[in-house]
Amino acid sequence: MLKQIASILEDKIYLSLRTQVEKYTSLTQEEWLLFSSCWEQCIFKKNEYMTKSGQIENWFYFVYDGVLRLYADKDGEEINAGFTYNNDFSGEYASFLSQEPTEFYIQAITDCSLLRISYQSLMRMFDELKCIERFGRQFNAKILIDMAKRQLESRSFSAEEKYKRLLSQSPHILQLVPQKHLASYLGMTPETFSRLRAKIR
């Protein structure tokens, strides 16, 4: 047990997780050790699937290094719905919370190093630790706000406005995600995306 505690204290991946969690809530050292002991490290290779359509999402992830994409398959066409990368949380969150099968896939675009916590463990932490319950509430609120902004963007913004917004929010994403996936995410053809990229440099 002492070795496990020492590892959690020293390991950069756990320190990164704590930094992100504490953007939503504060934890004592005792609370952190209890919470962090519920997480385990995992690796996904490039092109490997973390989640597939029809599965129930049983894990909530923290991405330490790498890039993942969330997409749906509609009649053979891949519709990209989002991306996660370094120091962000990931997983098919709707399926995770409802414990119902997802319609989405999550695929590693690059080799990925992550931490994950099971549904049962996170629900138990919500019950046992007020600070983690607060983390859950604050994180859920952020998800809902981001979804509302995304819906407004997809319905109201022009292709150029969508592209500029993407660059302002995630300027490094062009170096992380293939152009075809970004075009799909923004709801435009790869040709339109390419023209906008050439125009706005």
pLDDT reported for residue 5: 52
Asked if CATH classification 3.10.20.440 holds for the domain at 2-156, the reply, yes or no, is no
pTM of the model: 0.84
Measured N-to-C along each axis, helices 179-186 and 190-199 cross at an angle, to the nearest 10 degrees, of 100
Domain residue spans of the chain: 2-156
* Rounded-to-integer distance, Cα 18 and Cα 25, Å: 10
**Type and span of the H or E element at 44:** strand 40-44
SS3 165: helix
Contact 45, 96 (CB under 8 A): no
pLDDT digits (tens, 9 = 90+) for 25-80: 999 999 999 999 999 999 999 999 999 999 999 999 999 999 999 999 988 889 88
Which position has the higher pLDDT, 199 or 48? Answer: 48
The two structure tokens encoding residue 109: 């675009």
The two structure tokens encoding residue 153: 């963007």
Q: How confident is the model at residue 10 (pLDDT cuts 50, 70, 90)?
A: low
Q: How does DSSP classify residue 164?
A: H
pLDDT digits (tens, 9 = 90+) for 156-178: 777 778 778 877 777 788 888 88
Half-sphere exposure at residue 8, Cβ-oriented, CA atoms within 13 angstroms = 20
pLDDT digits (tens, 9 = 90+) for 100-148: 999 999 999 999 999 999 999 999 999 999 999 999 999 999 988 888 8
